């Protein structure tokens, strides 16, 4: 499993798997929003949690179409499906590699980009916490979507249409945690919902992804 994780990490960096692309997109969204809404500090502070969460979500979405496509193209996916390692473990490792190369850099960059949106100081901690708890769900759900569309020509658009509705609960509760934290409100309830969504995704979706892959590989 460690060898597979290291292999996927190397592929992500070599083949443009999302590390630099996701961060660049996140930065572009954060920089352009103040130009769009104008130099209104109060307004920027209000919308900052939602904008940062939406930027992180879309940045994660950018690299999903290559999550399983490289293994499909070179035949590695067939070998992984017949390997002693369960297919559920394979898709879990791939989701973890996606989170390390895409989700984790976004978590680390979010506080610095929050400065550009005039995020209230109490909100920085809760923004990081919400992203740290919520972004693994984005990677796991994205892996499920990639498994559904693997092998399809021009499946990137279909993947986005399938995954975006599933991202909505994570976006709602993640942004709510950051928003409440920024204004000093209680954050336990949305944070528990966010953690529950992530836990449910991690527990259930690898089995669904593996089942879909078995059907696609027949």
pLDDT in tens, 140-162: 999 998 888 887 766 677 888 88
Q: Considering the chain, what percentage of its residues have pLDDT values greater than 70?
A: 92
CA distance 152 to 150: 6
The CB density around residue 152, as the number of other CB atoms within 10 Å, is 14
- Rounded to whole angstroms, how far apart are CA atoms 162 and 158? 6
pTM of the entire structure? 0.90
The set of residues, in sequence order, having a beta carbon less than 8 Å from that of 159 and lying 6+ positions away, is 64, 65, 145, 146, 148, 149
- Let me know: does 9 contact 30? Beta carbons within 8 Å: no
pLDDT single digits (tens) 66-75: 777 777 767 7
As for how many domains the chain has, the answer is: 1
Domain that holds residue 64: 2-217
Instruction: Output 118 or 198, whichever has higher pLDDT.
Output: 198
């Amino acid at each position: 499993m460690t060898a597979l994780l290291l292999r996927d990490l190397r592929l992500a960096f070599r083949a443009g798997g999302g590390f630099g692309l996701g961060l660049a997109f996140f930065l572009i969204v954060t920089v352009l929003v103040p130009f769009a809404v104008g130099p209104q500090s109060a307004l920027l502070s209000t919308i900052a949690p939602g904008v940062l969460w939406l930027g992180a979500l879309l940045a994660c979405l950018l690299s999903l179409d290559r999550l399983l496509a490289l293994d499909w193209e070179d035949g590695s996916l067939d070998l992984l499906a017949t390997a002693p390692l369960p297919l559920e473990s394979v898709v879990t490792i791939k989701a973890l590699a996606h989170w390390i190369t895409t989700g984790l850099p976004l978590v680390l960059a979010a506080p610095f980009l929050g400065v550009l949106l005039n995020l209230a100081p109490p909100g920085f901690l809760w923004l990081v916490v919400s992203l740290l708890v919520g972004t693994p769900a984005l990677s796991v759900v994205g892996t499920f979507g990639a498994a559904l569309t693997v092998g399809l020509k021009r499946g990137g658009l279909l993947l986005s249409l399938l995954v975006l509705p599933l991202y909505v609960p994570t976006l709602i509760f993640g942004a709510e945690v950051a928003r409440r934290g920024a204004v000093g409100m209680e954050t336990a309830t949305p944070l528990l919902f966010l953690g529950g969504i992530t836990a449910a995704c991690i527990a259930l979706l690898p089995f669904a992804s593996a089942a879909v892959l078995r059907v696609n590989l027949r």
